[in-house]
Structure 1
Amino acid sequence: AVGYKTFSQKVVLEANQNKTLDINLEVGDMQMNEVVVTGTLKEVNRLETPVPVEVYNPTFFKMNPTPSVFEAMQNVNGVRPQMNCNVCNTGDIHINGLEGPYTMVLIDGMPIVSGLSSVYGLFGIPNAIIQRVEVVKGPASSLYGSEAVGGLINVITKNADNAPVFSADVTASSWQEYNTDLSYKFNAGSKASVLTGINYFNYSNPIDNNGDGFTDLTLQDRLSIFQKWNFNRKNNRLLSLAGRYMYEDRWGGQMQWSSENRGGDQVYGESIYTERWEVIGNYQLPVEEKMLLAFSYNNHDQNSYYGDMPYFANQKIAFSQLTWDKTLGNHDLLFGSAIRYTFYDDNTAATSAPDNLEANKPDKTWLPGIFAQDNIKINQKQSLLLGLRYDQHSEHGGIWTPRLAYKLAFNDNNIFRINAGTGFRVVNLFTEEHAALTGAREVEITEELNPEQSYNVNLNYIKKIYFNNGTFLGVDASAWYTYFENQILPDYETDPNKIIYDNLNGHAITQGVSINFDVELLNGLKLLAGTTFMDVYTEEEIDNQTVRSRPLLTERWSGTWGASYTISSLNLGIDYTGNFYSPMKLPVLGENDPRPDESPWWSIQNIKLSWTKSGSPWEIYGGVKNLLNFTPADNSIFRAHDPFDRNLDPDNPNLTFDPSYVYTSNQGIRGFLGLRYTLAK
């Protein structure tokens, strides 16, 4: 059946025998009819919502097992995990060419990953508790507020009622990476069900295959614990409460570095201790109207050294939102109010008093807002969504973000959508820009930074074709255009020893097209493939001339693919996944820097074999990652031999230690082996 895994079992039927055959089909990874919530803050069938939402369930991510959501996104078309540092390997998620801070990451609809935690938060969500991941590309500030400029990634966790009693997934790689995912559920009396997920990842094996004296892969020791309570209430009203705790110790640097060198100036290392906890809740009010109170709170502590440069920071975000869901005739209405409080403090000039850099002045901002949305069902084929939000930022004043979406369904197999809206983002450089922390370049802010504003139009078309021979073809094509005012981009090129920030004296454009294909053949072969073309640039007035430039680390072409096939007679599954990227500009240290100022075309490809017997709770899998053994050039870390710049070339004093020249991991080819156990009942 389309959307489900192929079922194969030998059955012998004898004459005059009354026999029943029970067939339980498992959900496949290429469904197009899922229920989604991210686009409209309501549960709605994916094909019915006017807002395009891409959905990826655990089967999709199991094609290429990874220890974190961050790495798992590498096979989503138009979404790229960007490595921001050659030494500590922190990163963020790019959507349609926009940098990580433009992407809002949520758990169960709550904005828990932003600012400081955008760099580290995606590494600590246990895979065992994930029901699906929803992706919206383009601004969604009319529903979610600041940071939802480039898009959304919403991690939907499992409900305990639908989760297995116990599951375990253990993986090891030839690089001696070890990952364990556990989940279990139990009933707390007759009033509540509880789901617990635990993730532990450890990598403690320094490797330097490129011979630069630095670790190729950051060493990590990470523990994450998640627990979610679902309470049984009258009239099936919703009440859930979830909490997550994550601790990570990661370091990268010179191979001889040890904890005794932390913060010193003899052996270079970047050492980061991260401790984070959060609470997420949803409570449906006990009234006849459908009213939902949602809230979240997170606390993020970071204790880190980048060489001999300390960076200590604390961020607290409290969020609450009340929504009223009301249907009147053909109007599906949603009204809401939200408030967010952000506290941020660190040991840099970012939180110092303007007239006294020695005096600490934490950044405290309030962001209350109200919004309204009307999804109008014009007729059986057409619907129109209108939305408007107003936010009152405590520092920047009032911000309006309207939204419009239109859907035309010619039939169930041909759907056209158009979305238009605005977005805004308030920037805190030190919570978002890792390169500002390395100490390799001086940070210079030339003016008071104003919020960024964006205007976006997105066209989407879905086509489903069912052939007579049982083959299914799904096509999902999109085109988008986004215009930015006041955009803030780091300038690495004016001065090789500085990162200069200011509001763009002009505008920025990101535009492009993408297309995804889903193919399912009657023999069980399933294919996913997609490609994206992006044209991203800025236009700025310099010396009375309009200068167009392309931002760093932005590719023009990218693509992903995945192929799955099961040999039923052998109970063997085969998955082949990969991606490719075109050249992108890289941050070099001026014209005398010997490193290329563009990356090459590159591709990461993986293959996985899995074995499981029908009805068995056990699954064994293994394979090879990075089949082509692609790694960046050996000199990606410039002056790795002199990270404290003690012996600079007097003729080229700007050629200093630089770990920010990075576009992908230095980790090469490796094998992996895993064992998975699932106790359904």
Structure 2
Amino acid sequence: MSKIITLWVVILFVFITDVKAQDDRRVRVTDSLTGDVIPGATFTRDSVKLVATRSGELLLKADSSHWHISATGYESRRIVVDPGGHTLNIALQPVQAEMENVVVSGTLRAVNRLESPVVVDVYTPAFFKKNPVPSVFESLQLVNGVRPQLNCSVCNTGDIHINGLEGPYTMVTIDGMPIVSSLGSVYGLFGIPTQLIERMEVVKGPASGLYGSEAIGGLINIITRSPEKAPLFSGSLMTTSWLEHNLDLGLGYRAAKNIHGLLGIHYFNYGNKEDRNNDGFTDVALQHRISLFNKLSIRRPSGRKASLATRYFYEDRWGGDMRWNKSFRGTDSIYGESIYTSRWEVIGQYQLPMNEPVMLSVSATGHRQDSRYGHVPYVADQKILFTQLTWDKNMGAHRLLTGLAYRYNYYDDNSTATRDILTGENQPERYGLPGIFLQDEWTLDEKHLLLLGARYDRHPVHKNIFTPRMAWKWSLSSHQVLRLNAGTGFRVVSLFTEDHAALTGAREVVIAEKLKPEQSYNANLNYTHIFQWQKNKLQADLSAWYTHFTNQLLPDYDTDPNQIIYRNLTGYAVSRGGSINFELSLGHRFKAMVGGNWQDVSRVERNETGKKTSIRPVLTERWSGTWTISYTFPGPGIGIDYTGNIYGPMRLPLLSPTDPRPDMSPVWSIQNIQLTKKLGGKADVFAGIKNLLNWTPAKNVPFLIARTNDPFDKQVQYDAGGQIMATPDNPYALSFDPSYVYAPNQGIRFFAGIRWSLAARP
């Protein structure tokens, strides 16, 4: 009898255990191409929302229920969780279109790119891996209509041009918070650890109505990873034949029960002096920088958001005479440009504990720069505090977004920009810029969406600034969208922090009159069509834009070769053009992105006789093109990427009518190739060649930097009118000037590296 009872107990235990196993089933989400786990995939059913662990796994109730699975960069999928004893593997397909993704930059709320009334281009880390570089600044060379522009042949600092407009017209944000402006516009895109970037969103055209000053030409928004979804550990190590070494590390961790953290480290070192154009100066500035980034995400009741991120950046950069060392810093014997930069940033978001979705966002930055341009010192300190309170309200056909914003700016340097002319006392610039904005997304019907918005800012000097905006989206079909955007933009200028040529000491800055804010009117028309057949997809994207400036402050290099003259625009300025982009995916093996851009940028003013004259700014190309072509061999796990860009001629700044250098640049192209081999799904190694054509701007040019033999102008002679005289030692009547630069000065070079990722255990 006891044996029978024991048997029944065993049977009952097995039955109960089996029922328990059927109640819950382990589900793992992986990449269909690589087999890698996808951390942080989202499972939704009705009002229930669950997030997978960093190992891509989750326990779900095995009750034959339907779940919707989604993850950034992948096509969503629906599954049914049936009872079973094994782990259910779910493979997600990577999105075939690089820009088919969720965006937030156009309206400050998350929407599918095709649903956004504002055109937003999205680029994921997979795109930037096709041509690995040590900074976000350099990676933008493959984005159509966007060009990283070097501003100095000696120290190699630069900014970003969008549709022909210079760097200060572009606002750079991290997670939607403006952390880069003025001084930081040169350095803000350096030192951001790539392991922390989830995607980058680019808006071409004025976004001042939503983001305020500096967004007059465009917006670059870097979205960082959520700490909850980041892998436990990720890293990338790369080196080149020029002895450039780059390291990026990412570490996901749990700081407390409801607090997840993400730590990022970026380190770059280039200490190899090269002078391959034989002018006695370094071809590329030597750089030593480190950046630390930490982001905390706090899990709160009802899914309310709370996060805090900090970043510290330090760089020691110099370029100049090959004989230079730090003992010559600030002297007038051997020329060098030495720049010490330290920068800190804080970014926080907190959703208020209310029934309504009200978000408080705060960012603060401090930028300290200690520079020596030859014997000319430039020491500057800038601090910016930005806070914004937004309320997002859904009212049926209307989706309202309203916000209050306040920006405090502090700037001080050792130049005349912060010095009282009469007393000579130092007077740092301090001002607050309060603003309010309102936006209404009005769904007219299932095909038409109208966005109306307006912003009002109050500047202490320029007083009232009003910037309205409008966007209309017409969904012609599920695969065709037509968008029209229009609005105004404004920008308050800080000359000494934006124009590098003003800091080198090679030219004197002349402010001819009291400067007013820049203002513009803009219209942008975009058409997107997606063609899909079987597993193949082609996305065509066409845009046309027109921007009219009623006031624009452009540096005048032409009137006097020894000066940079600023004055208010007496006429008007125009930026107009069009672009076309194609994305082609054939299955999951072949992918190509090809883009072309045409632009006409000019300012129209009246000359001394009253006749209108059109002037084309320097360093502005008429046309350009970019491409990335990739193919994956699934058997051996090898991928090949061929990337490149091409630029048309642009006008260059000459120093005198007798300057022997060409006044126009040639057509030039930088092309690269890369091979990638996957190692077991956890890592991959890559190697390739940059600048396959071995093109540099020094070819077919007498010299790039004027008078490197006399960088302090000790031998330059002037006539009674203050003009430079031609002498046997200076036959072209030139002074030292490093502003004749339009492209990187590095020739062909090899690179190799490794990337790896480690997911956390469930």
Q: TM-score, normalised by structure 1?
A: 0.96
Alignment partner of 1:521 out of 586, 590, 603? 586
1:338–1:21 Cα change, 3 Å? closer
Alignment partner of 2:474 out of 376, 401, 408? 408
How far is the alpha carbon of 1:6 from its aligned partner?
6.5
1:62 corresponds in structure 2 to 129
Looking at structure 1, the residues matched to 708 and 683 of structure 2 have their Cα atoms a distance apart, in angstroms, of 46
2:704 corresponds in structure 1 to 636
CA RMSD of aligned residues (A): 1.6
Give the alignment of 1:93-492 within 5 angstroms. Answer: 93-356=160-423, 358-468=424-534, 470-492=535-557
How far is the alpha carbon of 1:74 from its aligned partner?
0.4
Gaps of 5+ in 2: 1-29, 36-84, 718-724
Give the alignment of 1:502-581 within 5 angstroms. Answer: 502-522=567-587, 524-543=589-608, 544-581=610-647
8 Å contact 1:6–1:524 — kept in the other structure? Answer: no
8 Å contact 2:98–2:124 — kept in the other structure? Answer: no
1:504–1:29 Cα change, 3 Å? farther
Q: Secondary structure at the match of 1:676?
A: strand
Looking at structure 2, the residues matched to 518 and 412 of structure 1 have their Cα atoms a distance apart, in angstroms, of 18
1:661 corresponds in structure 2 to 740
Matched, 1:85 2:152: yes
2:758 corresponds in structure 1 to 679
Listed one character per residue, the Cα deviations across residues 224-266 of structure 1 (whole Å, up to 9, x for unaligned) are 0000000010001000000000000000000000000000000
Of all paired residues, the percent bearing the same amino acid is 57
Alignment partner of 2:726 out of 647, 651, 658? 651
2:33 corresponds in structure 1 to 7
8 Å contact 2:34–2:681 — kept in the other structure? Answer: no
8 Å contact 1:5–1:28 — kept in the other structure? Answer: no
1:481 is matched by which residue type in structure 2?
Y
1:5–1:56 Cα change, 3 Å? farther
1:14 corresponds in structure 2 to none
Listed one character per residue, the Cα deviations across residues 503-554 of structure 1 (whole Å, up to 9, x for unaligned) are 1110000000001100001261100000000011110012111111101100
8 Å contact 1:29–1:57 — kept in the other structure? Answer: no
Q: Secondary structure at the match of 1:122?
A: coil
Listed one character per residue, the Cα deviations across residues 634-658 of structure 1 (whole Å, up to 9, x for unaligned) are 5111111111112236426751011
Looking at structure 1, the residues matched to 233 and 619 of structure 2 have their Cα atoms a distance apart, in angstroms, of 42
How far is the alpha carbon of 1:21 from its aligned partner?
7.9
Looking at structure 1, the residues matched to 304 and 421 of structure 2 have their Cα atoms a distance apart, in angstroms, of 50
8 Å contact 2:541–2:581 — kept in the other structure? Answer: yes
Q: Secondary structure at the match of 2:91?
A: coil
Listed one character per residue, the Cα deviations across residues 32-60 of structure 1 (whole Å, up to 9, x for unaligned) are 43111100011111111100000000000
1:83–1:247 Cα change, 3 Å? same
1:159 is matched by which residue type in structure 2?
S
1:12 corresponds in structure 2 to none
1:100 is matched by which residue type in structure 2?
G
8 Å contact 1:32–1:47 — kept in the other structure? Answer: no
1:513 is matched by which residue type in structure 2?
G
8 Å contact 1:583–1:601 — kept in the other structure? Answer: yes
Q: Secondary structure at the match of 1:22?
A: strand
2:586 is matched by which residue type in structure 1?
L
1:146 is matched by which residue type in structure 2?
S
8 Å contact 2:32–2:91 — kept in the other structure? Answer: no
Q: TM-score, normalised by structure 2?
A: 0.86
Structure 1 runs of 4+ aligned residues shifted over 4 Å read: 18-21
Q: Secondary structure at the match of 1:161?
A: coil
Q: Kindly indicate whether structure 1 or structure 2 has the higher relative contact order, using CA contacts under 8 Å at least 6 residues apart.
A: 1
Alignment partner of 1:36 out of 103, 111, 130? 103
1:22–1:502 Cα change, 3 Å? same
1:592 corresponds in structure 2 to 658
1:13 corresponds in structure 2 to none
Looking at structure 2, the residues matched to 524 and 191 of structure 1 have their Cα atoms a distance apart, in angstroms, of 41
